[in-house]
C-alpha cells in the first residue's frame, strides 16, 4: 500500500461528506398562514429556492411540541409537532417533498433536557417516590450554612442559579439552561431507553439524521460538587463540571449503538468544550460515534472580545488545528453562523463599507476547507445584525435573563442594552428577508420578531437573478465545491501562515491542487508564495473582477478580496 500523504488522507466517500447543509430556524423562515410565525408549509413553499441554491441537506431547528420558553429547545412532546408550525401530516409532506427533490432532512435532537411541561417531568415532579423521579436530576438543598440553598453553586448557562426549587417536595431540580428546561438524568437507564425509542421512531419515519443539541453536556461530574469559588460569587460558571465530562463518550457510545448505527443517516453533535486533541474520539471514523461535531473554538475567539475585529492569525490557528486533527480520520462541520450567534458580516466583516466583499470573502474562507459546510438561513444573502431599541425588541430567554440579572445588580438600562445587543442571539433570528415587500415577504402579519430594517436592500429577490450578488456568489461557491472532488476530499495545507490579513490554503489530491486566497481585512494586502504559479486561466472563482494577468506567485488583493485558482 502506498504511504504518500495523499493516500493517508484519503477518505471513504459518504453522501454527507459531499453535501452542503442549510440550517432553518423555522420560526423565522417563512410564514404560510399569516400569523407572523414561520411554519412547515412555509418551508415547503421555499424548497425550490433551496434546491436552486444547491443545498443537499436541510437541518431544521426543533419543530416538536413546546411551550417555547427557548423557542423549541424546550420540548414537551418529542413525537408531536408544535401547533404553530403545523401538523405531523405537514411534516410527512415536507419529508417527502425534500426527498422528491433529491435533498435530505435532518432534525434537531434535544437530549440534554426537556420542557418542564413534558409528561416525563410532570410525572417526575409529582413526588420523590415517582417512578420517573430519577429521570431528572433532583437533590435536596444544602443543609450546611445556608439551609435551603441550592444543592451546589452552579450557574445556569443562561444566567442565575442552575437549580430551581420545587415548593411541593422541597427538593431542587437541575437546569443547565432555562428554569423551564430541566436536565434529563443520563445516569438513569430507563430514561435512556425511552430516549432511544423516540430516536428510532423518527429514524424509522425515514429522516436522514440529527443535529444533537448540547450533547457534550449530557454527563455531569459525579456527585455534582461545588465549583471552586475564590471570588465568593452567588453562582459560579461551572463548565468543567457539566461539559465534556469524563464518561460522556460512554453515553454517546450507547446512544449510537442503540440508534444511528442501524440507519444510513448523518449525525452532527453540538460539542462545546471538545477540542481538536479529543476530536477523533468524537468523530473518528473508527470510533463509530458521530459523523461530525460543531466545535466552538472559533466562536470563542470572537466571544472573548466581541468588540475587537477578527484575529486572522487566531482563526488560522483554530481552523488549522481542526483540519489537522481530523485529516484522514474524521470529518469537520464547517460553519460561521447559526441561530445562537450574531451575523458573521457584522461580527467579522464590514457591513457598512465592504458588505458584499466581506460576506463573500468570509464565505470563501470557510466553505472550501475539508468538511461539510453549513449555511445558516440568510447568511447566503449577507444578512446583518439588527438594531434593538429597547428590551421589548428582544425575544430570547437568554437576553431577557441578562436584563433581569443586570437590573438587579444595579446596572443602567443603556449599558445593559448596549452589552446585550452585542452578543444577542436574536440578531440571527429576525425573519428571513425574501423580498422588499411588506414584512420582507416573510409574513402578511406582524412577525413574532421585528424584521431587520435593512430588508428593502438586502433580500433574496434583489439578488436571485444576479450571479455577482452575495446569493449568486454562494450559489457559484456551492457549484464549485460539487464540481471539484478535491475541494471535498483533498488535503488541506495552510499558506502564508504568518500573514495577519490573509487566510490562504491549498486543497490537493493526486495531481489536482486548488488554492484558496482570502484577504479578511478592510486593508489591501499582498499575497506571495514563491514557487506557486497562479495563472489567470486557472481562476475558478473570485468575488470581484480580476484583470487578465501573467502567471505569477504574487498578487495584490483589494480589501476582502477572495480568489480561488486551480494550480499545478
Ligand atoms: C443549543 C441551542 O443551539 C440553543 O439555541 C439552545 O438554547 C440550547 N442548546 C439549549 O437547548
Ligand atoms: Ca404561520
Give the ligand with the smallest distance to the CA of 184: 1
Asked if 172 and 138 count as a contact pair (C-beta separation under 8 A), the reply is: yes
Count of residues in the chain: 568
Give the ligand with the smallest distance to the CA of 90: 2
Which atom belonging to ligand 1 lies closest to the Cα atom of 158?
Answer: 7
- 121 CA to centre of ligand 2 in angstroms: 29
Residue 555 bridge partners (DSSP): 527
Q: Using a 6 Å cutoff on CB, does residue 110 contact ligand 1? A: yes
Q: Comparing C-alpha atoms, which of 54, 53, 56, 73 is closest to residue 65?
A: 73
Q: Using a 6 Å cutoff on CB, does residue 177 contact ligand 1? A: yes
* Atom 2 of ligand 1: nearest residue by CA position: 213
Which atom belonging to ligand 1 lies closest to the Cα atom of 73?
Answer: 11
Cell of 53: 441554491
Burial pattern 319-351, b for ≥16 Cβ within 10 A else e, equals: bbbbbebbbebbbbbbbbbbbebbbbbbbbbbb
Q: How many CB atoms lie within 10 A of CB 79?
A: 13
Cell of 131: 417512578
Task: With residue 241 as reference, give the H or E element that holds it.
Answer: helix 239-242
pLDDT of residue 119: 98
Concatenating the DSSP letter of every residue in 286-349 gives GGTS-SEEE--HHHHHHHT-TTS---HHHHHHHHHHHHHHHTTT---EE-S--TTS--HHHHHS
Which atom belonging to ligand 1 lies closest to the Cα atom of 270?
Answer: 1
Question: Choosing from 270, 337, 426, 561, which is the catalytic residue?
Answer: 270
**Given the DSSP bridges, would you call strands 57-60 and 21-24 parallel, antiparallel or unpaired?**
parallel
pLDDT of residue 7: 42
Phi then psi dihedrals of residue 18, to 5 deg: -75, -15
Q: How many CB atoms lie within 10 A of CB 211?
A: 26
Q: Using a 6 Å cutoff on CB, does residue 172 contact ligand 1? A: no
pLDDT of residue 96: 98
Query: Is residue 213 annotated as a catalytic residue, yes or no?
Result: yes
Concatenating the DSSP letter of every residue in 116-136 gives TTSHHHHHHHH-TT-TTGGGB
Cα–Cα distance between 347 and 307 in angstroms, integer?
9
Give the ligand with the smallest distance to the CA of 157: 1
pLDDT of residue 143: 79
Q: Which residues contact 58 (CB under 8 A, 6 or more apart)?
A: 21, 22, 23, 24, 43, 50, 98, 103, 104, 105, 106
* Atom 5 of ligand 1: nearest residue by CA position: 340
Q: Using a 6 Å cutoff on CB, does residue 70 contact ligand 1? A: yes
Cα–Cα distance between 160 and 177 in angstroms, integer?
10
pLDDT of residue 146: 52
pLDDT of residue 342: 97
pLDDT of residue 10: 60
Beta strands in 188-281 (DSSP E): 209-213, 266-270
- 116 CA to centre of ligand 2 in angstroms: 25
Asked if 216 and 244 count as a contact pair (C-beta separation under 8 A), the reply is: yes
Q: Which residue is associated with the grid cell 489537522?
A: 324
Q: Which residue is associated with the grid cell 420578531?
A: 449
Cell of 460: 433574496
- Pocket perturbation via mutation, ligand 1, pick of 213, 299, 342 by most ligand atoms within 8 A of CB: 213
DSSP 167: T
Cα–Cα distance between 290 and 257 in angstroms, integer?
11
Q: Comparing C-alpha atoms, which of 23, 36, 48, 43 is closest to residue 431?
A: 36
pLDDT of residue 144: 63
pLDDT of residue 4: 41
Q: Using a 6 Å cutoff on CB, does residue 74 contact ligand 1? A: no
Which atom belonging to ligand 1 lies closest to the Cα atom of 70?
Answer: 7
- Pocket perturbation via mutation, ligand 1, pick of 108, 156, 177, 342 by most ligand atoms within 8 A of CB: 177
Which atom belonging to ligand 1 lies closest to the Cα atom of 176?
Answer: 10
Cα–Cα distance between 416 and 159 in angstroms, integer?
14
Q: Using a 6 Å cutoff on CB, does residue 218 contact ligand 1? A: no
Q: Comparing C-alpha atoms, which of 402, 541, 398 is closest to residue 473?
A: 541
Q: Which residue is associated with the grid cell 471535498?
A: 488
Q: Using a 6 Å cutoff on CB, does residue 183 contact ligand 1? A: no
Give the ligand with the smallest distance to the CA of 36: 2
Count of CA atoms in the C-beta half-sphere (13 A) of 256:
23
pLDDT of residue 5: 45
Cα–Cα distance between 170 and 52 in angstroms, integer?
56
One digit per residue, the tens of pLDDT, for the chain of length 568 reads: 333 444 445 678 999 999 999 999 999 999 999 999 999 999 999 999 999 999 999 999 999 999 999 999 999 999 999 999 999 999 999 999 999 999 999 999 999 999 999 999 999 999 999 999 999 999 999 976 555 699 999 999 999 999 999 999 999 999 999 999 999 999 999 999 999 999 999 999 999 999 999 999 999 999 999 999 999 999 999 999 999 999 999 999 999 999 999 999 999 999 999 999 999 999 999 999 999 999 999 999 999 999 998 999 999 999 999 999 999 999 999 999 999 999 999 999 999 999 999 999 999 999 999 999 999 999 999 999 999 999 999 999 999 999 999 999 999 999 999 999 999 999 999 999 999 999 999 999 999 999 999 999 999 999 999 999 999 999 999 999 999 999 999 999 999 999 999 999 999 999 999 999 999 999 999 999 999 999 999 999 999 999 999 999 999 999 999 999 999 7
Q: How many CB atoms lie within 10 A of CB 1?
A: 4
- The torsion region of residue 385 among left (phi > 0), alpha (psi -120 to 50) and beta comes to beta
pLDDT of residue 11: 72
Q: Comparing C-alpha atoms, which of 430, 438, 441, 487 is closest to residue 463?
A: 441
Residue 138 bridge partners (DSSP): 173
Q: Using a 6 Å cutoff on CB, does residue 73 contact ligand 1? A: yes
- 312 CA to centre of ligand 1 in angstroms: 27
pLDDT of residue 8: 45
Q: How many CB atoms lie within 10 A of CB 537?
A: 8
Amino acid at each position: 500500500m502506498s504511504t504518500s500523504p495523499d493516500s493517508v488522507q484519503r477518505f471513504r466517500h459518504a453522501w454527507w461528506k459531499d453535501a452542503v447543509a442549510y440550517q432553518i430556524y423555522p420560526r423565522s423562515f417563512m410564514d404560510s398562514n399569516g400569523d407572523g410565525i414561520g411554519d412547515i408549509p412555509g418551508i415547503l413553499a421555499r424548497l425550490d429556492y433551496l434546491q436552486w441554491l444547491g443545498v443537499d441537506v436541510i437541518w431544521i431547528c426543533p419543530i416538536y411540541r413546546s411551550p417555547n420558553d427557548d423557542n423549541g429547545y424546550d420540548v414537551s412532546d418529542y413525537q408531536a409537532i408544535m401547533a404553530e408550525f403545523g401538523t405531523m401530516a405537514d411534516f410527512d409532506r415536507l419529508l417527502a417533498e425534500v426527498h422528491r427533490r433529491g435533498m435530505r432532512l435532518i432534525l434537531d435532537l434535544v437530549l440534554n433536557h426537556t420542557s418542564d411541561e413534558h409528561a416525563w417531568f410532570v410525572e417526575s415532579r409529582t413526588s420523590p417516590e415517582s417512578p420517573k423521579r430519577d429521570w431528572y436530576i433532583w437533590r435536596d438543598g444544602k443543609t450546611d450554612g445556608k439551609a435551603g440553598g441550592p444543592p451546589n453553586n452552579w450557574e445556569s448557562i443562561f444566567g442565575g442559579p442552575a437549580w430551581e426549587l420545587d415548593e411541593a417536595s422541597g427538593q431542587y431540580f437541575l437546569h443547565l439552561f432555562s428554569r423551564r428546561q430541566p436536565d434529563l438524568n443520563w445516569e438513569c437507564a430507563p430514561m435512556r431507553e425511552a430516549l432511544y425509542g423516540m430516536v428510532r421512531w423518527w429514524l424509522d419515519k425515514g429522516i436522514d439524521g440529527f443535529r444533537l443539541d448540547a450533547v457534550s453536556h449530557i454527563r455531569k461530574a459525579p456527585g455534582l460538587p461545588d465549583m471552586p469559588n475564590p471570588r465568593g460569587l452567588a453562582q459560579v460558571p461551572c463548565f468543567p463540571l457539566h461539559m465534556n465530562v469524563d464518561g460522556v463518550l460512554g453515553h454517546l457510545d450507547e446512544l449510537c449503538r442503540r440508534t444511528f448505527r442501524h440507519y444510513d443517516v448523518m449525525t452532527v453533535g453540538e460539542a462545546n468544550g471538545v477540542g481538536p486533541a479529543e476530536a477523533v474520539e468524537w468523530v473518528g471514523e473508527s470510533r463509530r460515534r458521530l459523523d461530525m461535531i460543531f466545535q466552538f473554538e472559533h466562536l470563542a475567539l470572537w466571544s472573548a472580545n466581541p468588540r475587537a475585529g477578527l484575529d486572522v492569525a487566531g482563526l488560522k490557528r483554530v481552523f488549522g488545528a481542526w483540519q489537522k486533527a481530523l485529516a484522514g480520520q474524521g470529518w469537520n462541520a464547517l460553519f460561521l453562523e447559526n441561530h445562537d450567534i450574531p451575523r458573521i458580516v457584522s461580527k467579522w466583516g464590514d457591513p457598512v463599507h465592504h458588505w458584499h466583499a466581506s460576506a463573500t470573502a468570509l464565505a470563501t474562507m470557510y466553505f472550501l476547507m475539508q468538511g461539510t459546510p453549513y449555511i445558516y438561513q440568510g447568511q447566503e444573502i449577507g444578512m446583518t445584525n439588527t438594531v434593538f431599541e429597547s428590551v421589548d425588541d428582544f425575544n430570547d430567554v437568554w437576553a431577557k435573563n441578562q436584563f433581569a440579572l443586570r437590573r438587579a445588580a444595579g446596572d443602567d438600562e443603556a449599558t445593559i442594552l448596549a452589552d446585550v445587543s452585542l452578543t444577542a442571539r436574536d440578531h440571527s433570528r429576525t425573519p428571513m428577508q425574501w423580498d422588499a415587500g411588506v414584512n420582507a415577504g416573510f409574513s402578511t402579519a406582524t412577525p413574532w420578531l421585528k424584521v431587520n430594517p435593512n430588508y428593502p436592500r438586502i433580500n433574496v429577490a434583489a439578488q436571485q437573478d444576479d450571479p455577482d450578488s452575495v446569493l449568486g456568489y454562494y450559489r457559484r461557491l456551492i457549484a464549485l465545491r460539487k464540481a471539484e472532488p478535491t475541494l471535498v476530499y483533498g488535503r488541506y495545507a495552510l499558506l502564508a501562515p504568518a500573514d495577519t490579513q490573509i487566510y490562504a490554503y491549498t486543497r490537493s489530491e493526486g495531481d489536482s491542487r486548488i488554492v484558496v486566497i482570502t484577504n479578511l481585512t478592510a486593508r489591501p494586502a499582498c499575497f506571495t508564495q514563491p514557487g506557486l504559479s497562479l495563472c489567470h486561466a486557472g481562476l475558478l472563482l473570485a468575488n470581484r473582477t480580476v484583470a487578465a494577468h501573467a502567471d505569477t506567485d504574487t498578487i495584490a488583493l483589494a480589501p476582502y478580496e477572495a480568489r480561488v485558482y486551480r494550480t499545478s
